[in-house]
Amino acid sequence: MATAEGQQHPIGVYLWIWGLLFVLSLFSYLVDYFHLEGMLRWSLILLFMMLKAGFIVAIFMHMKWERLALIYAILLPPVLVMVFVALMVLESDYTHWARETYFVFGA
């Protein structure tokens, strides 16, 4: 837990996470190296990405040991970015459709 002098944890925790991040990075590189395609590729890339991001934030950045007031203030707003993502997916789908319709066939 947070003590009177900031965040202090055993060195071993950091070494473990360090090793884990190396292994996860290697896995995500191998996804490309072995030319995995389709749903398998996207799901593995996203899985390794989220695991790495989670370990960095939770352990290296000590979020796991902070109080909920800080955790929610920092981690909840980025979730709202997903709304933005959804909007832009709709928008770019429409742009793509318009280009296909008017640039290629409509000439």
Instruction: For residue 72, state whether it binds other proteins (rule: CB under 8 A).
Output: yes
Residue 27 neighbours by CB under 8 Å, 6+ apart = 44, 48
Cβ contacts of 56-60, under 8 Å, gap ≥ 24: 56/21, 59/13, 59/14, 59/17, 60/14, 60/17
Q: How far is CA 31 from the centre of its chain?
A: 16
- Kindly state the number of chain residues that form the binding site for other proteins, as judged by CB under 8 A: 59
CB 46 within 8 Å of CB 73: no
Instruction: For residue 18, state whether it binds other proteins (rule: CB under 8 A).
Output: yes
Instruction: For residue 101, state whether it binds other proteins (rule: CB under 8 A).
Output: no
Instruction: For residue 88, state whether it binds other proteins (rule: CB under 8 A).
Output: yes
Binding site for other proteins (CB under 8 A): 2-9, 11, 14-15, 17-18, 21-22, 25, 28-29, 31-33, 35, 42, 45-46, 48-49, 52-53, 56-57, 59-62, 66-70, 72-74, 77-78, 81, 84-85, 88-89, 91-93, 95-96, 99-100, 103-104
